[in-house]
Amino acid sequence: MEKTCSGGWFKGVKNRLAREAERPLNLTRARYNQPYEIQSIETLDSAMTDFLFTLGCYEGQEVTVLSSLGENYVIHVKDARYSIDRALAQAIRI
Amino acid sequence: MRIALAGNPNSGKTTLFNSITGKIEHVGNWPGVTVARKEGEIKSVYNPSGETVQVVDLPGAYSMSPYTSEESITRDFVIEENPDVIVNIVDATSLSRSLFFTTQLLEIGIPVVVALNKSDLKSKKKLSIDSGLLSEVLGCPVVEVAAIEADGLKELVTVSRESLGRKLKAPFAGYDPGTATEEEVRQSDKERFSFVENLVSRVEGRKVESRRQTRQDALDRVVAHKVLGIPVFALILYSVFSISQNSVGPLVADYLVGWIDAFYGFVQGLMGSGVHPLFSALLLDGIIGGVGAIVGFLPLIMVLFFLLALLEDSGYMARVAVVMDPYFKKVGLSGRSIIPMVISTGCAIPGIMATRTIRDERQRRTTALLTPFMPCGAKLPVIALFAGVFFADAAWVGTAMYFLAIAVVVVGALIIRKITGDTSKSNYFIMELPEYRLPSLKRAFVAMVSQGKAFVMKAVTIILVSNALVHVMQTFTWRFQVVGEGMAQESILASLAGPVSWLMIPLGFGMWQLAAAAITGFIAKENVVGTLAVVFGITNFIDTEELVLVAGESQVAGVMGLTAVAALAYLIFNLFTPPCFAAIGAMNAELKSKRWLLGAIGFQLGMGYTLAYLVYQAGTLITTGSFGSGVLGGLAGIGLFAGTIVYLVRLRENEDLEVLGGVA
């Protein structure tokens, strides 16, 4: 899956929080109502990446998380609101 | 000349289309309502010239590179069918996303007119747009409209007609689609976005930032919440069904049935005694009685359609998809699968077509297979009839059928995933959240009338013919002699339905009359009620004096000779076996595979049979202390169904093992 997983990440019992801190920042960890710049989109489905692009959701663009509703995140991109699931929120690196 | 309407999902294309053509196509406040192109002619009010102008409404698309199948309809149409003018509907409240598609449309070479829709919302959002400057930069006319209020439409049509043949220069020259590499496309599209961004910053004045949280977001935190959203959805569904079936619906039905009764009497009096009794029986009991039995339920259905239209107009549907997504994912579907299912509570055919917005093929097919389990408007009379006759109009019967349908969908999805394997590589979910708005009573009324009209049309055509045939087949023997007194089994109908009724003994209703009604139900589900009315000689089910849905419960129940448990089993059998032929046709079109279609019909038959069997046998065991008749025979049938499923699951698992073995 992610490249970071291979480098001895799971050797030894590491504190979960420490791992969180080193993991690249994605939308699941964004603060609400604060605009972030998208660093990259790391989906497993290139068609989804292309689709996000057509919504204006790609690297360099601004994204804001408005709220999270359990499994779903309400995001704001280019004057429109979308609800995305956790997997997609994790794919959007900020 | 021909005008194409293109634009982002939920920008209001179909609303505009309905306004300028006077048609009544399905609209809703959520992305992906329109899944196929619709054509119509512009009304003369908006087109004083008198020359016919065709308008083509297309499904929404975010760009010229399609993501789901319905998006590709838009691209294919615009590129291949060369409309004379493209009217690009742009949501004035989200310019910065919408204009991306606009700049792509401007490159095609067909004259474009931008319709700046939802202009009525601008002041509410403290938004201003310099449409003159926008028009200048884009190099095409920009007309401000509010499709919902029918504002600016005349000007839009005039400008569109004047644009015929106009040359245009694309404001942004993108890549050459013939030669560009993927990298070049990406780079060019990024530049396109920055061009749009720059343009928007010049033409748009925003006083309130759109990313600010609003009251709508606060509402969403409850309505679209993973846990809280479920009871909210259940409550809303319950209200819709109980209003249509238990309070407002029957109240209106009462008047209607009075008229039908009067009509029956009128025709009876008109014919007098001079008409041959066979003919008068055919006309009165076969046609007026059968059709009347169904038309009597029209108000219930119209109230249901009215409420569903309000729900779709409010923007709530997109939230339902969000709420259901995590749960549906667990059974191998997606949150988008709920939308076809809610639409199917009106009619399964548009419901099945709505599966096109689901990208994953397996999920799409599974949804198309399961969607017809939802009780549609045509099944409503059947539910209402049985709830009335056997359960004293208990409100729980109707609601229970809807929740049972949801349970069947969930279990069905699990079984199908076991058979097909979960082939989806990634299962991301994204749904645009439209703004909530107060649903328009007028629009819901228009939708209701148009659906009600369709229902009546069906009743006086297909159902009328079916009832007449049923009546004739019941009246005559194979030698075309009138069936003698007490010799009902000799009739054509009885001899055809008889063998089938044997299969239904384990379900508690092994009578040829009931089998015949279930069979005619495949032509149209309303036929179940019509045929029952004809074969049992009941003229109408709704009482006009008392405000109860069904007259003479005990009498009707006595004629049918069913216990309450068997009646429930029969109702369930009719609801959960395959839908009507028209819906099967729609399934065929969407599944695009004979194997899937056969599997789907087999699965639906097996499901209906199994549920009816379980309800009848378990219910009889509880109420009488012993199993009903044919318990072992039915078990054999269900064993066959279960065995086939297990076999298919094993088959797939072995295939998986072989694949794994091959890799190793």
Q: What is the pLDDT of residues B239-267, one digit of tens each?
A: 887 888 777 777 777 777 778 778 888 88
User: Do residues B362 and B424 make contact, with C-beta atoms less than 8 angstroms apart?
Assistant: yes
Secondary structure (3-state) at B532: helix
Q: Which two tokens stand for residue B317?
A: 């549907």
Which of B97, B211, B363 has the most A C-beta neighbours within 10 Å, making it the best mutation to test the interface with A? B211
pLDDT tens digits, one per residue of B200-237: 888 888 776 766 777 888 888 888 888 888 899 888 98
> Which of B100, B211, B359 has its CB closest to that of A56?
B100
pLDDT, residue B554, reads 59
What are the DSSP calls for B149-218, one per residue?
GTBSHHHHHHHHHHTTT-----SS----TTT--HHHHHHHHHHHHHHHHHHHHHHEEESS-TTS--HHHH
Does residue B181 sit at the A interface (CB-CB below 8 Å)?
no
Tokens representing B433? 């959240």
Instruction: With cut-offs at 50, 70 and 90, classify the pLDDT of residue A7.
Output: very low
Cβ separation B210–A76 shorter than 8 A: yes
H/E segment holding residue B408: helix B395-420
Highest mean pLDDT among B149-158, B458-467, B607-616, B655-664: B607-616
Instruction: Judge whether residue B427 has pLDDT over 80.
Output: no
Contact A72 B425 (CB under 8 A): no
Residue B545: what pLDDT? 39
User: Per-residue pLDDT for B422 more than 80?
Assistant: no
pLDDT value at B497 more than 60: yes
**Average per-residue pLDDT for chain A:** 78
More confident site: B540 or A63: A63
Q: How confident is the model at residue A22 (pLDDT cuts 50, 70, 90)?
A: low
Q: What is the mean pLDDT of residues B390-397?
A: 75
Sign of CA dihedral B51, B57, B62, B63: negative
CA distance A27 to chain B (A): 14
Q: Which of A67, A85, A90 to mutate to test the interface with B (most CBs of B within 10 A)?
A: A85
Q: Search chain A and give the residue with CA nearest B71.
A: A51
Output the six-digit token pair for B420: 């097909």
B192 neighbors B64 (Cβ within 8 angstroms): no
Buried b / exposed e over B363-394, threshold 16 CB at 10 Å, is bbbbbbbbbbbbbbbbbbbbbbbbbbbbbebe
The DSSP-derived string for A25-52 is PBGGGPPBT-EEE--EE--S-HHHHHHH
Q: How many CB atoms lie within 10 A of CB B608?
A: 21
Give the mean pLDDT of chain B. Answer: 85
Residues of B in Cβ contact (< 8 Å) with A66: 211, 213, 217
Query: Distance (Å) from the C-alpha of residue B8 to the closest C-alpha of chain A?
Result: 10
Among B229, B407, B396, B238, smallest CA distance to B320 is for B229
Higher pLDDT, A13 or B219: B219
Higher pLDDT, B489 or A17: B489
Whether B210 and chain A come into contact, CB under 8 Å, resolves to yes
By C-alpha distance, which of B315, B306, B253, B268 is closest to B33? Answer: B315
pLDDT at B606 over 80: yes
What number is the average pLDDT over the span B570-576?
94
Residue A32 CA to residue A44 CA, distance in Å, equals 26
* Chain A residues whose beta carbon lies within 8 Å of the beta carbon of residue B189: 53
Question: What is the structure's pLDDT at B217?
Answer: 82
Average pLDDT over residues B367-375: 94
Of B193, B210, B226, the CB nearest to A70: B226
b/e string for B305-333 if b means 16 or more Cβ within 10 A?
Answer: bbbbbbbbbbbbbbbbbbbbbbbbbebbb
Of all helices (H) and strands (E), which one includes residue B432? strand B430-432
- Whether residues B211 and A88 touch (CB distance < 8 A) is answered with no
Residue B250: which H helix or E strand, with range?
A: helix B248-271
**B223: Cα within 13 Å, side-chain hemisphere:** 19
- pLDDT(B374) > 80: yes
Burial of B153 (0-12, 13-18, 19+ CB in 10 A): buried
Query: Is B170's pLDDT higher than 80?
Result: no
Task: Enter the DSSP assignment of B523.
Answer: T
Residue B41: beta bridge partners? B54
**Candidate from B16-20, B124-128, B646-650 with smallest mean pLDDT:** B124-128
Q: What are phi and psi of B271, to 5 degrees?
A: -75, -30
pLDDT at B89: 94
Which is more confidently placed, B654 or B581?
Answer: B581
**Residue B37 burial (CB count, 10 A):** 17
For range B492-517, the mean pLDDT: 90
**CB–CB contact B67 A88 (8 Å):** no
**Topology adopted by domain B2-206:** Rossmann fold (3.40.50)
Using CA atoms in the order B421, B424, B428, B429, what is the torsion angle rounded to 10 degrees?
A: -70
Asked if A69 and B226 touch (Cβ cutoff 8 Å), the reply is yes
pLDDT at position B543, please? Answer: 44
- Cα distances (Å, whole numbers) of residue B610 to B123, B332, B599: 58, 23, 16
Q: Using the beta-carbon criterion (under 8 Å), do B211 and A72 form an inter-chain contact? A: no
Domain ranges, ordered by start, for chain B: 2-206, 230-655
| pLDDT band, very low/low/confident/very high, at A2 (cuts 50, 70, 90) | very low
Q: Are strands B112-117 and B85-91 parallel, antiparallel or unpaired?
A: parallel
Q: Considering only CB atoms, which chain B residues are within 8 Å of A63?
A: none
What are the CA-CA distances from residue B540 to residues B52, B287, B446, B488, B509 (Å)? 47, 12, 28, 22, 22
B63 and A80 within 8 Å at the Cβ level: the answer is no
Residue of B500, B517, B509 lying closest to B630 (CA atoms):
B509
pLDDT, tens only, B299-353: 888 888 899 899 989 989 889 888 888 888 888 898 889 889 988 988 899 999 9
Q: Does B183 touch chain A (CB under 8 A)?
A: no
Note whether B14 and B30 are within 8 A (CB): no
Nearest CA among B611, B606, B589, B594 for reference residue B640: B606
The CA distance from B158 to the nearest CA of chain A, in Å, is 30
Closest residue on chain A to B94 (Cα): A79
Cβ neighbours for B13, distance < 8 A, ≥ 6 positions apart: B5, B6, B7, B34, B57, B58, B60, B89
Q: Does B202 touch chain A (CB under 8 A)?
A: no
B653 half-sphere exposure, CB direction, 13 A CA radius: 7
Closest CA of chain A from B2, distance in Å:
28
Could you give the domains of chain A?
Answer: 26-93 (2.30.30.90)
Tell me which DSSP letter residue A4 carries.
Answer: G
B273 — contact with chain A (CB < 8 Å)?
no
Residue A52 pLDDT exceeds 50 = yes
Please report which confidence band the pLDDT of residue B660 belongs to, taking 50, 70 and 90 as the band edges: low
- Closest by CA to B264, choosing from B540, B472, B529, is B540
Q: Please write the tens of the pLDDT for every residue from B128-167.
A: 888 889 998 888 999 999 988 888 898 999 899 888 888 7
d(CA A74, CA B16): 29
Place of tokens 């419960």: B553
Residues 6+ apart with CB under 8 A from B153: B16, B19, B20, B46, B145, B147
Phi, psi of A86 (to 5 degrees): -60, -40
- Provide the phi-psi class of B559: left if phi over 0, else alpha when psi is between -120 and 50, else beta: alpha
SS3 B247: helix
Share of chain B above pLDDT 90, in %: 28
Q: What pLDDT does residue B185 have?
A: 80
- The shortest CB-CB distance from B432 to any of A60, A80, A88 is to A80
Burial class (CB in 10 A: 0-12, 13-18, 19+), B48: exposed
